[in-house]
Amino acid sequence: MMLRDEKSDALVDGDDLLESTDNPDGQEATFGEDGQMHEHFHITVEKGHGLVRIDKYLVNCLSQISRNRIQLAADAHCILVNGNPVKSNYRVKPLDEVSIVLSYPPTEFHIEPQDIPLNIVYEDDDVIVVNKQPGMVVHPGFGNWEGTLLNALAFHLQDDPKFNITDPRLGLVHRIDKDTSGLLVIAKNENAKTHLGKQFFNKTTTRRYNALVWGVMNEDEGTVDGDIGRDPRDRMLFTVFPNGENPNAKHAVTHYKVIERLGHVTLVECRLETGRTHQIRVHMKHIGHILFNDERYGGNVILRGTNTGKYKQFVKNCFDICPRQALHARTLGFVHPRTGEFMSFESELPSDMAQLIDKWRTYSSGRDFEEEQVK
């Protein structure tokens, strides 16, 4: 048997992706700013190995993994041999390429239930779809041990017999940043968590965001294809590297389409093909269109427009209306883990972004921007 260490697409949300930590045993663990959600193993069966059921083979290879977790992965079609899903009675052959995606095991961790209002868009026995408000942290962490989405979910689910409060991520399979608003899906049981995790891993979910960016985009649509990794000059930031140049950077692809040009800003739709930390924010900056009021990446100052006091006051008022990066997870689609039905959800723009866009729309109406002095 040979275990190998591979880079994979993390189970994340588009805006603030989960970084991955690879260990030397061929296991990949997908982390968020965040924390662990799923682990991935890639195994090559040795030459001369005898025929044996894959569940028994994996139990022997992965001694730290229980037979029950392996069976759950097989039931969810999350065990692949040579790229194809197999059942637990499949017999491995020499040189078979085996991949398995597992829900990460619970740890000794307690999430305090808190009675915090949740905007639940949809809920059944398997999943919850939440429309997260801006300013809400998704899960507890340094500096944010209370008041998070997971604290609210712990309260909402505390009477559910399948709920495990010791699971540090409950049913999270992706996340969005504190100051990004919009849709998240949460799994309510282990089977749903495994199924949804596989979909994010295989990039079969639908995730579209609305963003207001600085500058007027000339092209109606386009694609940004560039690896994303930590900025060596500032570890709090991420930046784009030429594909393949930085071994620690991860491949990232964002498709964008112009919705409306509003003078010195543009409203765009971003569709994620991958999900990397700050992916939309980093890719938009890379092409010269930083998100409006994105403090971390320099969008909280005037980057386009005139030098007049009136314009400066207008932009300040815009910053006050939407005191965060103007980014909203608008569309989320996935296959239901039990029924197999594709489900799609839409979330209207929150009031702060809606007011911001209306203000720019009013400002730009009938104005000749070519005559204005541009910074």
Q: What angle do CA 165, 166, 171 make, to 5 degrees?
A: 65
3 state DSSP class of 305 = coil
3 state DSSP class of 309 = helix
CB 213 within 8 A of CB 284: yes
Burial 137-173 (b: 16+ CB within 10 A, else e): bbbbeeeeeeebbbbbbbbbbeeeeebebebbbbbbb
DSSP state string for 78-97? -EEETTEE--TTPEE-TT-E
Helix (H) or strand (E) holding 360: helix 351-364
Q: Which of 3, 47, 9, 2 is nearest to 251 (CA)?
A: 9
CA pair distance 330, 343, nearest whole angstrom: 14
Active site residue 177: yes
DSSP state string for 206-240? EEEEEEEEES--SSSEEEEE-EEEEETTEEEEEEE
Longest dimension (CA), the chain: 78
Q: Which of 312, 306, 331, 320 is nearest to 355 (CA)?
A: 320
Burial degree of 327 (CB within 10 A; 0-12, 13-18, 19+): buried
CA pair distance 121, 128, nearest whole angstrom: 8
Active-site residue identified among 126, 167, 177, 294: 177
Q: Which residues are catalytic?
A: 177
